[in-house]
Amino acid sequence: MRIPYVLPACLVLAACNGGGGAQSNVVLGGAPAPGQSTAFLLEGDPAGNYGEAFMDAEGKGFIVVAPSDGQAAQALYRLDGDTVQRAPAALSGAVNLNQSSVMKLRTSAVAPAQLAGRYTVLLGGLSADFTLDADGKVTATGGACQLSGTVQASGGVPGTLPVALTVGGCTAEGKYQGYLIRSADYAPGAFRLVADDGKRVLDGYAIAVGAGKG
């Protein structure tokens, strides 16, 4: 059974607005715990009330924000020390993230070779079929969306790997930077892909195709 715990005092950080360098204040109800992956409820972000944070031991990482648990993320925060960047950029002058409770997520070290196989993922309600090889290459194999790109061999946050993805042939078309996340909490998904192009967030759970994959 997971025991939620209340985060400590508020931490005010600066968030970079991606459209021209303007900044807005981001007030977190306590910094995400370094070296941990956690899920929590939040208030004040128009993207939703549910967040998941993935942090390394030095306090660098990212937060995904969704309307509720199980729904696609609408915002992606990147944290690096005292700097926080939100994609897409905040719509108002200030975004307040008041984290009320936290539960640990079950993540572990991951590498592309562990995940090599065939997958399908829904991107904005449209399917994308692809393969991931042991070197981290993502190759489109079918579906309404064509998904390709690369997964890095290692990353600073346990259970995650940086990704560069290209989507073509559907409304999600574009180039995205983000993360592959592997967690037992995402079953039956083999892993999750969360990335952004600066203006929108791509989020989907990859389902293994065929026995013994993922």
What are 95-113's pLDDT values in tens digits? Answer: 666 666 789 999 988 999 9
Q: Which residues contact 21 (CB under 8 A, 6 or more apart)?
A: none
User: Which pLDDT belongs to residue 17?
Assistant: 36
Sign of the four-CA dihedral 48, 53, 54, 58? positive
Please, what are the domains in the chain?
Answer: 11-104 (no CATH), 112-208 (2.40.128)
Rounded Cα distance between 12 and 63, Å, is 16
Residue 66 reports pLDDT greater than 60? yes
What are 18-48's pLDDT values in tens digits? Answer: 333 333 456 566 678 889 999 988 888 889 9
Cβ atoms of 214 and 118 within 8 Å: the answer is no
Pairwise pLDDT comparison (79 vs 201), residue with the higher score: 201
User: Which pLDDT belongs to residue 81?
Assistant: 80
* Gyration radius from the chain CA atoms: 17
Residue 196 reports pLDDT greater than 80? yes
Q: Which residues contact 211 (CB under 8 A, 6 or more apart)?
A: none
User: Which pLDDT belongs to residue 13?
Assistant: 35
